[in-house]
Chain A
Amino acid sequence: MGQLVLLIASAIAGQEFYALLTLRYFRPRLEPVADWIAGNRSEQTAVAAGGDASRHSSSCAFGGAVAIRSSAGLVWCLFAVWLLSLPAWGILVLYLAAFVVLAYANGLAFLIFERALQPVLDDIATDVSDEAEIEPSAFASRRLLSALPAVSAGVGVLVVGLVEGGHPGLGSCSRRLLSRWLWR
């Protein structure tokens, strides 16, 4: 099996591990929303479901799984450095790059989940009186800002990698990453 295939397969395996843990974590927390959809409908359950839906769409991006994900990212970096026979300092560069990628991927999942919950929130809103207050997600108002550094760094690294011929190496990759961040 090629090294590229192994790297992609291991990255996807790590992502699946993270996805399974995250789904397990959120199952009980999304229960009030599922209950409300199933028919347990009252003003009280609607407010609880609306609050949970709003809150959990943001914690999907920054929930308690961050530590697990960071550890999985580090394991992947160690594996990549070993597989490609890279120097030890490559761990730091790869981890920095992985951090950017995972931040972007998290943000993407959050935006999709937030958009997907819109019909549920619209439905819940019909059951809630004007006086009831559902606390909005604090993260929602900063969504674009959170994606910007990751997009900027990611595009910079990708474009330079595509334009430069051959394999410029990890040193070049780290310089691109740092210059994109310092430029911001």
Chain B
Amino acid sequence: MFARWYERFGPRYPQLLLGVALRVEYIVVALSAAALSLYVDMSWASSFC
């Protein structure tokens, strides 16, 4: 998969992949923030104003 992307994007590939790798962290960060709701009571939808 990475080899195909490397061929496709050429010189932009390293910077592009670094951007993707950093954005994959969104999943970890978002799930961790959500995991806090296991310990602390919080509203899920629009009940908080």
Contacts and interface: CB of A to CB of B under 8 A. Distances in A.
Interface of A: 1-8, 10-12, 14-16, 18-19, 22-23, 26-27, 30, 33-35, 37-38, 53, 60, 80, 84, 86, 94, 97-98, 101-102, 104-106, 108-110, 112-113, 115-120, 123, 154, 157-158, 161-162, 164, 167-170, 172-173
A15 B39 contact: no
The B contact surface, by secondary structure, is helix
17 contacts: A3-B44, A12-B26, A18-B22, A23-B19, A23-B22, A26-B18, A37-B10, A37-B13, A101-B29, A101-B32, A102-B29, A112-B21, A113-B21, A167-B39, A167-B40, A170-B39, A173-B39
**Interface residues of A, dominant DSSP:** helix
A16 B32 CA distance: 16
Given A60-B21, A119-B6, A15 B29 contact: yes
B22 to A, nearest CB: 4
A19 B25 CA distance: 9
Contacts of A84: 40, 42
Interface of B: 2-3, 5-6, 10-15, 17-26, 28-30, 32-48
Contacts of A53: 14
A176 B36 CA distance: 13
Contact of A22 (B20, B22, B29): B22
A118 B2 contact: yes
A92 B29 CA distance: 18
Contact of A34 (B12, B24, B30, B46): B12
Contacts of B41: 167
A133 B1 CA distance: 28
A108 to B, nearest CB: 6
B35 A157 contact: yes
A18 B48 CA distance: 28
Contact of B35 (A38, A108, A161, A169): A161
